[in-house]
Amino acid sequence: MNHTMELWQLFGGLIVTLIIASAVSYVLKHKFGATSVIENLEARVNAWWVMILVIFAAAALGFYGVIMLFFVVAFMALREFLSLIYIRRGDHIALVACFYVILPIQFILVAIDWFSMFTIFIPVYAFLFLPILSALQGDAAHFLDRSTKVQWAIMIAVFCISHIPAVLTLDIAGFEGGNIMLMIFLILVVQASDVLQYIWGKLFGKHKIAPTLSPSKTVEGFVGGVISASVLAGLLYGLTPFTPAEAALIGFVICMMGFLGGLVMSAIKRSMGVKDWGNMISGHGGMLDRMDSLCFAAPIFFHLVRYYWT
């Protein structure tokens, strides 16, 4: 069976799953009322509908469609991050460079598959030149704090997110044409881990894992969610060049990175005094609230696959 047929079969399976999930949330809401847990579940299902439909629409447009999709995602994530930090007039030229120079160049480097430059452009060149642009404006007030926040905004919102479509550029022997399914595997497993951690936490959660950073996360939710998502990854090995055991192991690694990334992003939000990055997605905050786990999981996944399978 060719990869295109497998892709559309996967899409059909996910649509059926979402229809069932929507039906379950509808029944629960009418049986028990609009409790906070049921409303949160309904919002998560709706977010999955949007995510799956957008991803497969981009996949239908091919490689450059996926690149453009995540370019837009990174743009929106960067806007959310930068809108929450302390900005002075001296930072304006650096912010213009973030949106209209660094962001497009990073995705162009992914599109032309210039690996050596794609992996160092932001951590080396952008990190050096962004504070230079601010320093040239002559404003020293809170300079280190301002520069560091802009650097990390571009690192998380652009560099990390760009590793998701970069999966499509990996040259894996015997897996030609299947990279789109590998990218979907990454997204499904990491996002499923978030949902499963929420469900396990609501069902069995008693011990908070990081009460000051993310009060809703529990040890039971974390363990149950990561293990069950790792099992799911093993079951989805057909989307990948991995064996079932390899898929489960990689699933475990990216779920762990997703969880830790979520904690880091929660810590950043708490330090800024906000609950959500934005309000773009009903019930789920902004783009970064949906992408926080993937921001940390995607680079690790990309480099693991590149090192061991290409």
DSSP string, 231-259: HHHHHTGGGSSS-HHHHHHHHHHHHHHHH
pLDDT of residue 283: 54
User: Rounded to whole angstroms, how far apart are CA atoms 9 and 16?
Assistant: 11
pLDDT of residue 130: 94
pLDDT of residue 6: 76
The angle subtended at Cα 68 by Cα 129 and Cα 237, nearest 5°, is: 105
User: Rounded to whole angstroms, how far apart are CA atoms 247 and 201?
Assistant: 24
pTM exceeds 0.85, yes or no:
yes
Question: Which ranges of 84-168 would DSSP assign to H, the alpha helix?
Answer: 92-97, 103-111, 115-118, 127-135, 143-154, 161-166
pLDDT of residue 17: 83
What are the residues whose beta carbons fall under 8 Å from the beta carbon of 281, sequence distance 6 or more?
A: 43, 47, 50, 287, 289, 290
First to last CA, the chain: 22
Residues in the chain: 310
pLDDT of residue 42: 78
Residue 285, helix vs strand vs coil: strand
pLDDT of residue 273: 84
**DSSP 8-state code for residue 23:** H
pLDDT of residue 284: 59
How do residues 210-254 score in pLDDT, each as one tens digit? 888 888 889 999 999 999 999 999 999 988 999 999 999 999 999
pLDDT of residue 307: 94
Query: Measuring CA to CA, which residue among 229, 224, 215, 301 is closest to residue 262?
Result: 215
User: Which regions in the chain score pLDDT beneath 70?
Assistant: 1-3, 280-284
